[in-house]
Homo-oligomer: A and B are copies of this chain.
Amino acid sequence: MKFTVSEIAQMLDGIIVGDEKVTISSAAKIEEGQPGCISFLANDKYEPYIYTTQSSAVIVNKDFVPKKELSATLIYVENAYTAFTILLEEYHKRLASIKRGVEQPSFQGEGSTLGEDVYLGAFSYIGKKCVVGDRVKIYPNAYLGDNVVVGDDSTIHPGVRIYDNTVIGKNCTVFANTVIGSDGFGFAPQSDGTYKTIPQLGNVILEDNVSIGANATIDCATMGSTIIRNGAKIDNLVQIAHNVEIGKNTVIAAQAGVSGSTRIGDNCVIAGQVGIVGHISVANKTKVGAQSGLSKSIKKEGLSFSGSPAKELNEHLRSMAFVKRLPEIDKRLSELEQRQEVGIIQQRD
């Protein structure tokens, strides 16, 4: 997809200084620019690069005054960073909207319906009685089981596996090879040491505006639903066990795991590689530091936790500081012991 500087300036309500016919096909940081790229300059620190950049165009703040000659075409706007972001989003949106139509071979089970302007990639599989909304994109090699619902404007990336009865809201994104709705890990121990599989009959519900990264796993509920609430963002390789509920706008970073039946509140931030035990409840706006192990319910909102097992951040830092001081504590103890020996000897004398 290509734009002229003139088209971009119009989009951003900007003023052009330089060649307005230059064609832009990509974006780049100002220090890494190539011909055909557009960059932006918002921070004075990067100003030197504007005189040497190979980018064909640079978006600048309205008060920018060049101190040397430069070759790039300039687009003056109110706020260069905001304008650049708007441009990227617009570009991304137009790029995404190109995919449309049904590639062959693909598989559509009986009783399934597709909305308008859907993209269905080759080798994708849709089971029976699925409802696929308008402008949904299902990329190649993706799989939907039976009775799956995908809301309008959602995107299912290549190789995603969505099990029977899953409900996906509007404007959701599921990245490649993620698995939604496979069995929860439930086995009943038998007296002979073997395990009996507990049937997992529930489903998974993703509300609207949810994003799930690549190679993540979200298990179906034993009964009822595993629920990811509106606006939650989940990163790559994250594990969400059966009957978990993730609150609105909660963010979970890569390789973290949440065990069965735990309920995480709204607007929480769970860092990478965190583990959270089952059957607890975590208050809204809780923050959990990377690699922490959260083993107890959090009732008060807005606190930060760290460590394994996780403690409130201040307590954790204090505890870490004391561990660091252990050699010093040991030394003070030895000195005391020595002095006392001396004291005892002196008393004896």
Tell whether, in the assembled complex, residue A157 and residue B141 are in contact, meaning their CB atoms are under 8 Å apart: no
Min CB distance A26 to B, Å, is 8
Complex alpha-carbon distance, A339 and B239, angstroms: 55
Question: Which of B141, B231, B330 sits near A143, CB closer than 8 Å?
Answer: B141
* A-side interface size class: 35 or more
Known contacts being A159-B177, A183-B175, is A291 close to B319, with CB within 8 Å? no
Min CB distance A227 to B, Å, is 12
Chain B residues with Cβ under 8 A from A188's Cβ? Answer: 85
Chain B residues with Cβ under 8 A from A193's Cβ? Answer: 248-249, 266-267
Question: Which of B91, B236, B333 sits near A239, CB closer than 8 Å?
Answer: B236
- Is A9 on the interface with B (CB-CB < 8 A)? no
User: What is the 8 Å Cβ interface bit string for chain A, positions 316-349, against chain B (1 contact, 0 not)?
Assistant: 0011001111110110110011011001101100
Tell whether, in the assembled complex, residue A194 and residue B29 are in contact, meaning their CB atoms are under 8 Å apart: no
Tell whether, in the assembled complex, residue A199 and residue B91 are in contact, meaning their CB atoms are under 8 Å apart: yes
- Is A201 on the interface with B (CB-CB < 8 A)? yes
Tell whether, in the assembled complex, residue A332 and residue B327 are in contact, meaning their CB atoms are under 8 Å apart: no
Which of the candidate stretches A64-72, A111-119, A129-137, A209-217 sits at the interface with the other chain?
A: A209-217
Tell whether, in the assembled complex, residue A326 and residue B323 are in contact, meaning their CB atoms are under 8 Å apart: yes
Which of the candidate stretches A10-18, A44-52, A250-258 sits at the interface with the other chain?
A: A250-258
Tell whether, in the assembled complex, residue B107 and residue A140 are in contact, meaning their CB atoms are under 8 Å apart: yes
Residues 263-297 of A at the B interface (beta carbon under 8 Å): 266-267, 272-273, 275, 277, 290-291, 293, 295
Min CB distance A278 to B, Å, is 9
Chain B residues with Cβ under 8 A from A85's Cβ? Answer: 188, 198
Tell whether, in the assembled complex, residue B255 and residue A239 are in contact, meaning their CB atoms are under 8 Å apart: yes
Chain B residues with Cβ under 8 A from A251's Cβ? Answer: 187, 195
Complex alpha-carbon distance, A122 and B28, angstroms: 37
Tell whether, in the assembled complex, residue A213 and residue B217 are in contact, meaning their CB atoms are under 8 Å apart: yes
Chain B residues with Cβ under 8 A from A143's Cβ? Answer: 139-141, 158-159, 176
Min CB distance A297 to B, Å, is 16
Min CB distance A136 to B, Å, is 17
Complex alpha-carbon distance, A209 and B219, angstroms: 20
Question: Which of B182, B223, B254, B332 sits near A333, CB closer than 8 Å?
Answer: B332
Complex alpha-carbon distance, A213 and B339, angstroms: 60
Tell whether, in the assembled complex, residue A182 and residue B187 are in contact, meaning their CB atoms are under 8 Å apart: no
User: What is the 8 Å Cβ interface bit string for chain A, positions 227-248, against chain B (1 contact, 0 not)?
Assistant: 0000101011101010000001
Complex alpha-carbon distance, A31 and B209, angstroms: 29
Residues 179-220 of A at the B interface (beta carbon under 8 Å): 179, 182-183, 185, 187-188, 193-195, 197-199, 201, 209, 211, 213-217, 219
Min CB distance A82 to B, Å, is 11
Tell whether, in the assembled complex, residue A231 and residue B195 are in contact, meaning their CB atoms are under 8 Å apart: yes
Question: Which of B91, B187, B291 sits near A201, CB closer than 8 Å?
Answer: B91
Complex alpha-carbon distance, A339 and B330, angstroms: 18
Lowest 9 A-B CB distances belong to which pairs? A322-B326, A161-B176, A179-B214, A92-B199, A217-B236, A125-B140, A88-B199, A143-B158, A176-B179
Q: What are 22 inter-chain pairs, A to B, with CB distance below 8 A?
A: A28-B224, A91-B199, A122-B125, A125-B140, A139-B143, A140-B143, A141-B143, A143-B176, A157-B182, A158-B161, A159-B161, A185-B235, A185-B253, A194-B209, A194-B231, A197-B211, A215-B217, A217-B236, A254-B257, A275-B291, A290-B295, A333-B333
